[in-house]
Amino acid sequence: MSVIVLLLIPLAATALVCLPLKRAWPMGVTVAANLALLILTARLAWWVADGNAAVSAPQVWLLKWIAVDGLSALILLLIALVATTAAIFSIGYLGHENLPPFKLRLYYANYNLFIFSMLAVPVLAEPTLVWIVVELTTLCSALLVSFDNTREALEASWKYVLLSLMGAGLALFGFLVLFAAMQASGVQTAYTWNGLVAAAPKMPPILLQTSFVFILIGLGTKVGLVPMHTWLPDAHSQAPSPVCALLSGVETTAVLYVILRLFPVMHASPGAHAEIWALVLGLISVGTAAFLLLQVRDYKRMFAYSTVEHMGVILTAVGLGAAVAGYGAMQQILAHSVTKSFCFFAAGSVLLMAGTREIAAVRELVRRSPVAGAALVFGGLAITGAPPLAIFLSEFTILKAGLTQGQYLATGLLAAFIVIAFFGVMLHVNRMVFGSPTEGRMNGSSDKWMNGSQPASSDGATTPSIHQSKSPPIQPARLPFSCGLALVLAAIPVLVLGLYMPEPLHELLTQAAAVLK
Amino acid sequence: MNQLVENLNALMGGLFLLAAFGMVAMRQARGCLNLFITQSVLLAASAALLGVRYHSEHLYGVAIVNLISKPLIVPWLLRKTSLEEIYTRREVDQVLNIPTALLIALGLTILAYFLGRPLSNAVGSEFRGPNVSIGIAGLLLGAFTLTVRREAVPLLLGVLAMENGAFFAGIAISRNLPMLVELAIATDGLIIVFIMGVLTRAVQKHIGTTAVGELAALKEEAAEPASEEVLAK
Amino acid sequence: MTQRILFNLLQVLVVMIFAPLASGVSSRLKEIIQSKRGPSIFQPYRDLWKLFHKDEIVSEDSSWVFRFTPYMVFVAPIFVTLLIPVLTNYPLFFAFMGDMLGGGFVLSLGGFFATLAAVDTANPYGPVGASRTRMVGFLAEPVFMIVFFTVSFVAGSTIPYIVQQKWVTPLANFFLPSHVLLVLAFLMLILAEGGRIPVDNPTGHFELAMIDESKSLEYSGRGFALMKWGGQMKFFVLLCIFLNVLVTPWGLAGNQTLGAISLLPPVTGPDLRLIAVLLAIPLVLFKILCFLLVLVAIESSLSKLRLFRISEFLGAAFITSVAAMIAQVFL
């Protein structure tokens, strides 16, 4: 029963947000609703981790397809967690610009609708319904991505919608073939994930393989696997930062969850090969993203490429195939969601302080806003896998599993790419936070923020040193309180999970990994 | 009688393919919309014919759902959400010239036939006709349309054409999908049209043109720094 | 046997006599659609009569090609008439002299000579139109080839009479996707080869825009009459191929039947077959009239394509014919 309540909360929040009450009403409703979601999903996850399966009681109509097991509970928990922190961050982020109340309500209504669509993905057990909800996530987030209504934001949003829908079309065909395969197997079960596993041994392998490839490529477009990733840096950089946190942190993970659901089906069928696809595609994604990270010009795009990289790492882990690698993949999912959301909060704070997305135009951030600078450094270290933070542990688990499995080449490549990504990210972050302003300023617009309230001089780029000696010291600025609060809240799991895995979480991850077998 | 139905079904398939080719090559946005409507009607007709062949009422339901949602509601929704004048757009110069695009489309069709044959044989021994191959061809041609068109309306219709293609294959091989799922997929299509219509309107308002395929400002080699709009935030 | 030769010659006579009528009816219908009265449907006959009685002026700078061409253009469709089913659905005496490919080549032989003659006169508009005609012709050749190949693939033979039997027998074959797509492709081909809108404007007088009309710009008197008549016969022959082989292979005189109706009494005699063939003439003319209605509707609703877009039009025809072939081979 609580699963249905889980889905109804965001819908109710959407309806409530639309009421034209005080200015703080939408924000308060959203934060409250997401906190409630967090509590409910935590309880659900605890219950599932104890070994119970959650199936909603009345088996009628739509409800008969609602089922939650270990993997679903993990994803639900992550969605709720990131949704809460992003809602808190939105308060400060959007409050900074004086938006008309209508636009503010639109944002929060869209936000809650997006959360609803994402929550529905792990909860439904019928693959075609899951496909529908995945499309819904694209559609609900399209208007969020284009929220700024600038030229770049609209282009990014259009590209996002188009490529995602193209992938969804391919995936639809894959799901229809999957249904045909299940009918051809002759086993009389319902068309759910569990039913598919039961029917898999008798399915004609060619149908299963074809549907797997189509779904991998189609939904892989939405996950951001290379070479279908071209929309991801644009969309995940042009959206407002809390939305970026949601998109990068949990939405790509939720769609990856759908792909992961196919792996037990492929294992159960004798003639089907899934691991090799996952391994190759994952390694290509990690490698391409690592190299692309070296030459970004925009720090939000940098974090977006890092998302591509981590999706590739998760897929590689699943492709390595051992039980330990599966556990490592789950751990990576958990660590990546919490860390990536923190990174985007940090990026959002930098954007608020610096006013520009260009890496080359941001220098000496530590003077302007120590909080933003520290957050950026922490985020950069965390996302690239520095100890003692969360991602280090999960990547270590994966690499160890790969070595014990004997897959030296794949593990070696993975490690090399992770190191390259580390260099790329830290290079940029270092320049941004500690770099001296005399290196590589672009034009007078960056003078504006560095010199506080003084008007920009006309010859910014030509005579840097003379100009610098005359300018007053950089005035620090304050980050809005809610942004800081969100940063702290998001940093806690990143720190904690790098040192210690709480027992219930460990149970949950084990359950989730067991689903993959 | 069965032979007649099978041949008519194959005819619908052939015309469906032709409509997909037309969407690749048609320059006018309104012409593209008409071709999409034709394609949807042909899909409904094929579903009805297969329903006659298999004596399955489920397929009649699919035909009716498709007949109502795509030829009727989609154009209405498009008119409501985006501006009327985008229908007058025509692409004066294309990404690829039309004969080359048509030849590539032909190659994709042949590829689709090679993909579809083993699938069609693996599902079972009942009559399936060319639906699977033509469905895959429709899917690939829809994806191809997305790469060669620049205007907003043909791009949107390419997405919907991909779903048409997937469905055309689906009515032959996965006939017993629950009706609820069919309705949900149809509603999904309508939501797609709504959202993309709203986006198109926003693009038209803020950028001034609906040639969205030409927007290419987001690259790694962007020369100018972030624009003043960001500073104004 | 003599009867078969007789029927063959009867076919030629029918084509020769009724081709200008088809042209006259077509222009009258077009004018009616435009709310005008239009000339009488027998006007082309009067034009031909007038032209045969006029003097012929031939340029001094032209060669033998210029003088030879009108006869070539007149005779080529007659040769093709011997090969195709116009009145009967059983093969006649000359039926196996050449198949559909051969017929197509003979028709284009006439067109080839017309192009040469247009270049021969040194009138600048001649080569302009000739080069355009060649462009349309060369783009239309692949479509011709593929249509004929697909049709022969289906029927197992390239002789038009045998092809026609295959389409007729089970009615379900009429709805084969390859059949419908071939009909569409061939229709576009008729529009291109016959010089109709959207490829060319047959009533246009602006020489810079002429494609097909320019071939007879320099002719006068008897040469002009032969060129005109030959052009009308070529169009009539194309229509016969289209209608009698592809679209409506019914209503032709059979050995004992007229179309699908069997003639009484069942005793077959040479006179009965002659009557059947004579009865087939108005049926064929009726079919051509119906098709002319469709053609006029198409012509009046489209506009002439710009020159560089003709390649797109014929490209679409090519794709349609290849789609028909695919639908046939992979079905």
Write out A454-481 in H/E/C secondary structure: CCCCCCCCCCHHHHHHHCCCCCCCCCCH
**How far apart are the C-alpha atoms of A307 and A425, rounded to whole Å?**
12
Report the 10 Å Cβ neighbour count for B103.
Answer: 15
Nearest C-alpha of chain C: how many angstroms from B18? 7
The pLDDT of residue C330:
67
Q: Could you give the dihedral angle defined by the CA atoms of residues B112, B117, B120 and B124, in that order, rounded to the nearest 10 degrees?
A: -170
Residues of C near B (CB-CB distance < 8 A)? Answer: 170-173, 175-178, 180-181, 184, 311-312, 315-316, 318-320, 322-324, 326-327, 330-331
Query: What proportion of chain A, given as a percentage, has pLDDT over 90?
Result: 34
- Nearest CA among C259, C18, C233, C295 for reference residue C106: C233
Report chain B residues whose CB lies below 8 A from the CB of C181.
14, 18
The pLDDT of residue A253:
93
Nearest C-alpha of chain C: how many angstroms from B20? 12
- Nearest CA among A399, A383, A400 for reference residue A494: A383
Residue B217 near chain A (CB below 8 Å): yes
Query: What Rg value do the Cα atoms of chain B yield, rounded?
Result: 19
CA pseudo-torsion sign A516, A165, B159, A288: negative
- Of B137-151, B164-178, B202-216, minimum mean pLDDT range: B202-216
B119, containing H or E segment: helix B98-123
Backbone angles phi, psi at C253, to 5 degrees: -70, 130
Q: Give yes or no for residue C174 having a pLDDT over 90.
A: no
**How far apart are the C-alpha atoms of A417 and A399, rounded to whole Å?**
12
State the residue for tokens 């790969």: A402
Contact B206/A151, CB-based, under 8 Å? yes
Contact B122/A206, CB-based, under 8 Å? yes
Tell me the three state secondary structure of residue C199.
Answer: coil
Q: Give yes or no for residue A442 having a pLDDT over 70.
A: no
Q: Which two tokens stand for residue C250?
A: 């019914």
The pLDDT of residue C165:
76
Q: Could you give the dihedral angle defined by the CA atoms of residues A166, A261, A237 and A101, in that order, rounded to the nearest 10 degrees?
A: 90
Residue B226 near chain A (CB below 8 Å): yes
The pLDDT of residue A452:
43
**What's the pLDDT tens digit per position in C213-238?**
788 888 888 999 999 999 999 999 99
**How far apart are the C-alpha atoms of A234 and A158, rounded to whole Å?**
10
Query: Are A398 and A320 in contact, with CB atoms under 8 Å apart?
Result: yes
Report chain B residues whose CB lies below 8 A from the CB of A204.
122-123
**What's the pLDDT tens digit per position in B173-201?**
877 777 778 888 888 888 888 888 888 88
Q: How confident is the model at residue A461 (pLDDT cuts 50, 70, 90)?
A: very low
Q: How confident is the model at residue A337 (pLDDT cuts 50, 70, 90)?
A: very high
Domain boundaries, chain A: 274-517
Report chain B residues whose CB lies below 8 A from the CB of C184.
18
The pLDDT of residue C170:
67
The residue that leads in pLDDT, C86 or C252, is C86
Q: Tally A–B CB contacts below 8 A.
A: 166
Q: How confident is the model at residue C28 (pLDDT cuts 50, 70, 90)?
A: very high
The pLDDT of residue A50:
79
Tell me the three state secondary structure of residue A59.
Answer: coil
Which of C135, C154, C173, C331 should one mutate to test binding to chain B, selecting the residue with the greatest count of B CBs within 10 A? C331
Give the best-scoring range by mean pLDDT among A190-194, B103-107, B203-207: B103-107
Query: Are B117 and C330 in contact, with CB atoms under 8 Å apart?
Result: yes
Report chain B residues whose CB lies below 8 A from the CB of C310.
none
**Inter-CA distances, A287 with A219, A421, B218, Å:** 20, 9, 22
Q: Residues B43-53, buried b or exposed e (16+ Cβ, 10 A)? A: bbbbbbbbbeb
Residue B138 near chain C (CB below 8 Å): no
Residue B229 near chain A (CB below 8 Å): yes
The pLDDT of residue C312:
84
Tally of CA atoms within 13 A in the half-sphere of C187 that contains its CB: 15
Q: Across residues B117-130, what is the average pLDDT?
A: 76
How are the residues of chain B apportioned to helix, strand and coil, as percentages rounded to the nearest 5?
Answer: 80, 0, 20
Nearest C-alpha of chain C: how many angstroms from B168? 16
Report the 10 Å Cβ neighbour count for C112.
Answer: 18
Give the length of chain C.
Answer: 331
Q: Across residues A213-229, what is the average pLDDT?
A: 91
User: How many domains does one find in chain C?
Assistant: 1
**Which of B174, B199, B229 is facing A180, going by the closest CB pair?**
B174
Q: Which domain holds residue C266?
A: 2-329
Contact C171/B13, CB-based, under 8 Å? no
Report chain A residues whose CB lies below 8 A from the CB of B188.
132, 135-136
Mean pLDDT of chain A: 84
The pLDDT of residue A388:
85
Q: Give yes or no for residue B228 having a pLDDT over 60.
A: no
**What's the pLDDT tens digit per position in A366-396?**
777 888 888 899 999 999 988 888 899 899 9
Q: Give yes or no for residue C313 having a pLDDT over 70.
A: yes
C246, amino acid identity = L
